Amino acid sequence: MDDIICTIPVFDGNWSVQHYWAYEDGYSVCDVDGNHDDCEESDIPSPKAVCEAWKEYSWWVLKNNGEDPLREFLVARTVESKWRVRLSNSIVGVVACEFRRNGRQVMRDALPEEAVDYLCLHPNRRNVIGVKKVSDVDPITRVGWHDFKIKTARSDAAIRRDIINAAKRHLNIS
């Protein structure tokens, strides 16, 4: 039997976790570097001590404005948006002439870098955007509306807000 008995956060200037393991021939504690040190059964923290350590970590996260160095609070760090692009033929080739995000028209200058990369766009002229390549699309059927989704990073403020809310939920405070 090789099982983790518990995981506990430890603060020694920086936060890290320690995993306590049970083996057929004894117990060990594993540090953040993966080093296992033998320990006695009496060294293993009680369930109450583990719970208190995680509450202490949650309080620290709250006091430090949502900083989560252990990344224990699972919050969305990206957001997915629906996009549409209308491709047309022109004298310079296929061009992307209209963009929509979640149903609303978006100007070319407001496109996030992820959308530009996904579509492989490059500026031909100020008002025409050339399509360098559209993979898996037959050149004859390129013209028309095409739907795609992209993920963009959420703002740090939004992530911290969600982490703070998760820490409050863990501590049963509102």
**Number of Cβ atoms within 10 Å of the Cβ of 14:** 9
Residue 142 lies in a domain: yes
Residue 123 lies in a domain: yes
Tell me how far apart the alpha carbons of residues 166 and 57 are, in angstroms, rounded to a whole number.
12
Residue 18 lies in a domain: no
One-character DSSP codes across 46-84: PHHHHHHHHHHHHHHHHHTTT--TT--S----EEEEEEE
Q: What is the pTM of this model?
A: 0.72
Which tokens is 112 given?
């996030």
Higher pLDDT, 156 or 97: 156
- Residue-averaged pLDDT of the chain: 84
Residue 171 lies in a domain: no
Which tokens is 91 given?
């004298």
Residue 140 lies in a domain: yes
Tens-digit pLDDT profile for residues 144-166: 888 888 888 899 999 999 999 99
What is the domain count for the chain?
1
Higher pLDDT, 74 or 134: 74
- Could you tell me the residue range of the domain that residue 107 belongs to? 78-153
Tens-digit pLDDT profile for residues 21-51: 998 888 999 988 888 899 998 999 999 999 9
Residue 5 lies in a domain: no
Residue 82 lies in a domain: yes
Residue 91 lies in a domain: yes
